[in-house]
Structure 1
């Protein structure tokens, strides 16, 4: 899996450092750098933080962009075909490592190469996405971190903020495997609720889809779905007009106007992935490196939305308020 090439580059980096700190050695210095390609599906706060945490972990381990490592950041701007093209480009350039942020980018990278080590993050279910054989023992050239949060934690918030709710609406991208996984989990765990689901394939369909749900639901659940998140301002506008709270699966949606989530810190998740990447760069076998999940969660509430819905602050601990005074 390109490990010999990578280890040779690491050796060159070490020799370069020794030359630079040696007794005034002259002549041409070794300039070969480790090349890392970062593929991000869309520009979005949570994913941006994920990327920043990854890069910081590399820096803290001595891998500094422009010095001994070259980081190539590419953004697909929400287009899956573009994510595939980015991955193919990284593979043809023979990058030493790919960091793929979110499921479409991760799948694109894995489709493009089975040799280059691929670190992933913000992928809810790497197994269902076909990236690894299991979380404990990937068995492929892929490992990293998952942003999986049990749907039960969001159901707890629904009970807190909408105790009389009987019907939970779910808007999701039909081509996003993670969204289907979350929907299936919601159906399994939301005992006593009626689940009203509407699938969409593009942001152009969101307005009509959410409008069709409004008279049929008491609360809306928004999964970690890039299409849904990108359309959150429209969703919030429509649901707020009907006083329907939106419980989201991640912080970014709350910052865009959803009411609340019990979510993770994406910067920390990226940093953890970066620490794993350092181990791979130093020779650890990626195929046997377990995929990790976040161990800490925060309850995040949009205070402006809370007030607009006429709701009281919840009597629960460790709540972080955003978008409020």
Structure 2
């Protein structure tokens, strides 16, 4: 009986070794699939994915991360309903995602309220230091890092370019849904003083329905112009903004090239897809173990100028050759 028992045990051991799942030498125990949360107040939740997010996912794929294969991407897009952003950020935090990619200031503020531990990657924040997300660009120091969307001096450049394109410009106003950074306002004021352009009080709107009444009031006096910095509302409703500038014959400069492609006069700023592609590199580093506190925030290395000559002609403007030769994109 003893010999029979040993024989059966030996057979059982052989079968166990033959049919036990093979584990490659040096392989680690299987870990959970990383989850990436995307948060945007302006992006539409339905329809084709916005080009900037396509660029982001393409960049991740190039880095070896594919949604549905080795990562899971959770999208929280508010489609212009800014009141949803806070609850979306809280959802992502409660889900325990491994990293949150958030677009502008309101989105990142919502993330900061929701979590102080989950890594967050900023994409469209002009000045992360002034906005309070990081201690410094070189040493963020918390759970935020990513790409800054602006560089010092861009406010002055807006006034200079608009005055160059529209020499009769006598006053300008900022159009947007939130107050701008003090440094940005100082830059615009300084340029206005140097060029003899009055800086009017900002035109603040919180709903698309407020756009036309606000722009119409400003356009009551002649020789005015608009500056439209990075802003979720004016970007989402850029066709309406551009149409109003045309209707009230207001030369305007925008941050985003997409405004010019929609019929706006001119734009000066970084390209959105490039910023989102750069954000993907931060996600890659974080998923591989890097801490956001140790990843320096990166600023744009190049701002592009786009000009729409068709719009200039409609406004009765002759864009000088010295401006056109500096443009990266000219729409005829």
TM-score where L is the length of structure 2: 0.81
Measured after TM superposition, the shift of residue 311 of structure 1 is: 2.8
Query: Does the alignment pair 1:317 with 2:321?
Result: no
Candidates 215, 240, 254, aligned match of 1:248:
254
Query: Does the alignment pair 1:114 with 2:116?
Result: yes
2:140 and 2:293 in contact (8 A); partners too = yes
Measured after TM superposition, the shift of residue 288 of structure 1 is: 2.5
Deviation string for 1:170-206 (max 9, x for gaps)? 2222xx3546664443224322321112222322211
* Structure 2: 5+ residue stretches without partners: 1-20
* Structure 1: 5+ residue stretches without partners: 1-18, 24-28
> Which residue in the other structure is 2:165 paired with?
161
Deviation string for 1:40-75 (max 9, x for gaps)? 11127xx93432332222211111111111111220
> Which residue in the other structure is 1:84 paired with?
86
Q: 1:77 to 1:210 in 2, by over 3 A?
A: same
Candidates 195, 208, 212, aligned match of 1:207:
212
Matches of 1:291 and 1:49 in 2, distance apart?
23
1:178 and 1:224 in contact (8 A); partners too = no
Pairing of 1:92-107 with structure 2 (within 5 A): 92-107=94-109
2:42 and 2:236 in contact (8 A); partners too = no
Matches of 1:189 and 1:215 in 2, distance apart?
24
Matches of 1:182 and 1:255 in 2, distance apart?
25
Q: 1:50 to 1:129 in 2, by over 3 A?
A: farther
Matches of 2:157 and 2:224 in 1, distance apart?
18
2:172 and 2:197 in contact (8 A); partners too = yes
Measured after TM superposition, the shift of residue 208 of structure 1 is: 0.8
Matches of 2:286 and 2:273 in 1, distance apart?
20
- The higher radius of gyration belongs to 2
> Which residue in the other structure is 2:3 paired with?
none
Pairing of 1:40-59 with structure 2 (within 5 A): 40-43=40-43, 48-59=50-61
> Which residue in the other structure is 2:268 paired with?
262
Query: RMSD in angstroms over aligned alpha carbons?
Result: 2.7
Matches of 1:263 and 1:255 in 2, distance apart?
14
Matches of 1:92 and 1:122 in 2, distance apart?
24
Deviation string for 1:55-114 (max 9, x for gaps)? 222211111111111111220112232111111011101001111112211111111010
Aligned residues: 298
Matches of 1:201 and 1:63 in 2, distance apart?
37
TM-score where L is the length of structure 1: 0.82
> Which residue in the other structure is 1:39 paired with?
39
